[in-house]
Structure 1
Amino acid sequence: MTAATGSSRELAHPAREEIRLEGVLHALSDPMRMRVVRELAAAEGELACSRIELPVTKSTSTHHYRVLRESGVIRQCYRGTAKLNGLRRDDLAALFPGLLDSVLGAAAGQDERLGA
C-alpha cells in the first residue's frame, strides 16, 4: 500500500497493481458500502462524505469509507476540511473489466425486483 507522505491529511491508497479482486468484492458486499459506491457512480465528480447519508453512526460510516479506500474501490483526499471521495473507475476497469458496471447494474436490477 502506498504510504501517506508527510502530512496526516494524506490518506494511504493501494497502488493499482496492489488491488485484489477478493478485497474489491468484500468491499462491495456490504449494503452501506454499496450505497456509497452507487452514489459516487451517479455523481458527476467527487463527493464529500457529508453528501452521502448513511443510516449508521459516524464511526461506522468512517469504517465503511476506510474499507472502500483500502480495497482500492474509492480514492479519498482532503480539500480544506472536507474529505472528498471518488470511484477508482479507471483502475477497476483496467484490472477487472466490466466488474463495476456489472455490479452496479445488478444492484439496480435488485432494487427493481424488490421494489426498493
Structure 2
Amino acid sequence: MTATDEAPAALPEPAPDEIRLAAVLHALADPVRLRIVTTLAAARGTEQNCLAFDLPVTKATQTHHFRVLREAGVIRQHRRGTSKMNQLRTDDLDALFPGLLDAVLRAAARD
C-alpha cells in the first residue's frame, strides 16, 4: 500500500452515544465556531480543508476552535496528507437532537 492509497487518518471524536447536548451547545455558542459550522452546512456534506476558512483569528486559535467542535461531536476531522479535512456530523446531530442544528443555522442566518 502506498501513502496515497492509505485511508485518511481520522482524529479522535466521540461516538454518537457519547455526544452530550451541553458540549454541543457550548461548542455552538462561540461566534467563530458557529461561523465554521455555518460554512460546513453550506458545503452540504462535502469536506472542507481548514485552510478554506477565512476566520478572524490566529492559526493556533483556529486549531483550538476546530478541536472544540470535534471533541463535542459537531464535526468530523481527518488528515489527508498535511491537511485536516472537516465535515459536519449532520446525521449524528439530527438523530440525537432532532431540529437543533436546523434551528441554530436559521438563527445564525438571521444574525
TM-score normalised according to structure 1 size: 0.85
2:29 maps to 1:25 = no
- Structure 1 stretches lacking a partner, 5+ long: 1-8, 111-116
State how far apart, in whole Å, the 2-side matches of 1:19 and 1:26 are: 12
State how far apart, in whole Å, the 2-side matches of 1:95 and 1:19 are: 8
1:12 alignment partner, SS class? coil
2:64 maps to 1:63 = yes
Q: 1:49-78 CA distances to partner (integer Å, 9 max, x unpaired)?
A: 000111101110000000000000000011
State how far apart, in whole Å, the 1-side matches of 2:110 and 2:93 are: 21
Q: CA deviation at 1:80?
A: 1.4
The match for 2:42 is 42
Equivalent positions of 1:1-116 (< 5 A) are 9-44=9-44, 45-110=46-111
State how far apart, in whole Å, the 1-side matches of 2:26 and 2:87 are: 18
Which is bigger in relative contact order (C-alpha 8 A, separation at least 6)? Answer: 2
Structure 1 runs, 4 residues or longer, greater than 2 Å off: none
Partner letter of residue 67 of structure 1? V
- Structure 2 stretches lacking a partner, 5+ long: 1-8
Partner letter of residue 57 of structure 2? V
Q: CA deviation at 1:40?
A: 0.2
Q: Percent identity?
A: 64
RMSD, matched Cα:
0.9
Q: CA deviation at 1:10?
A: 3.8
2:39 alignment partner, SS class? helix
